[in-house]
C-alpha cells in the first residue's frame, strides 16, 4: 500500500518506454502495463488466488464481473480502494486456513492446495511489487520501504 500511495496520481498512467533508455539500446516496452494497470492486475490476481484459498474453483458471475471491472480502473483513488479491499480479502481468506484444511484441494489444478494458492499469490505479488519499485524509481521517487535505510554501496552515488 505505501508504494501505491507514494506514486502521484498523475503518474498512474506511467509505463517505461524505449525513449527512456540510451540510444541504440535493445529494449522493447511495447504493450507494457502502466503503473495503474499493474495495480489493477495485482488486485485481480489477489481476488482470484484467494478464492482458491477458500476452496472456490472459479468465480461466480458477480465476482467475475468485479474482476473485469477492476481491469478498467485507472484513477489512483479507485485503485487504492480496490487494493485495500483485495488485501483485506486476502487476509480473511488466509484466516480460514487450519492445519486440517490447508492441504485440501483448492478446486483448481490437480495438485493445487489451499496453502499452495497462498504461496502462489504471495510470490506473484512480490514479482509485481518489484516491477512497481522500478516504475516509481524511474519517476524519481524513493520507494517507502527504502526510505531511511543505509546505502547498499555507500561509496557510490545512489
pLDDT in tens, 69-113: 999 999 999 999 999 999 999 999 999 999 999 999 887 777 889
Is the pLDDT score of 17 beyond 80?
Answer: no
Q: What is residue 21's predicted lDDT score, i.e. its pLDDT?
A: 63
Which three cell numbers, joined as nine digits, stand for 14? 506511467
How confident is the model at residue 157, as a pLDDT? 58
Domain ranges of the chain: 2-146
- C-alpha to C-alpha distances, 99 to 96, 103, 118, nearest whole angstrom: 10, 8, 14
In the prediction, which pLDDT does 19 show?
A: 67
Question: Under CATH, to which class is 2-146 assigned?
Answer: mainly alpha
- pLDDT > 80? residue 25: no
Higher pLDDT, 115 or 151: 115
Q: What share of the chain is helix, strand, coil (3-state, %, to 5)?
A: 55, 0, 45
**Considering the chain, what is the average pLDDT of its residues?**
89
Between the ranges 28-32, 57-61, 120-124, where is the mean pLDDT highest? Answer: 120-124
Q: What mean pLDDT is predicted for residues 145-156?
A: 78
Could you give the CA distance from residue 76 to residue 118 in angstroms, rounded to a whole number?
Answer: 26
Q: pLDDT by residue (tens digit) across 110-145?
A: 788 999 999 999 999 999 999 999 999 999 999 999
Amino acid at each position: 500500500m505505501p508504494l501505491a500511495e507514494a506514486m502521484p496520481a498523475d503518474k498512474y498512467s506511467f509505463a517505461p518506454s524505449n525513449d527512456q533508455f540510451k540510444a541504440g539500446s535493445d529494449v522493447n516496452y511495447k504493450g507494457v502495463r502502466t503503473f495503474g494497470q499493474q495495480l489493477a492486475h495485482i488486485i485481480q490476481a489477489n481476488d482470484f488466488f484467494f478464492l482458491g484459498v477458500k476452496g472456490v474453483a472459479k468465480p461466480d458471475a458477480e465476482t467475475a464481473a468485479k474482476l473485469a471491472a477492476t481491469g478498467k480502473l485507472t484513477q489512483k483513488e479507485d485503485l487504492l480502494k480496490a487494493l485495500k479491499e483485495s488485501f483485506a480479502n486476502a487476509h480473511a481468506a488466509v484466516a480460514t486456513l487450519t492445519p486440517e484444511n490447508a492441504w485440501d484441494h483448492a478446486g483448481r489444478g490437480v495438485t493445487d492446495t489451499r496453502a499452495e494458492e497462498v504461496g502462489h499469490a504471495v510470490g506473484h505479488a512480490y514479482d509485481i511489487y518489484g516491477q512497481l519499485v522500478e516504475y516509481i524509481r524511474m519517476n524519481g521517487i524513493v520507494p517507502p520501504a527504502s526510505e531511511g535505510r543505509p546505502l547498499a554501496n555507500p561509496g557510490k552515488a545512489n
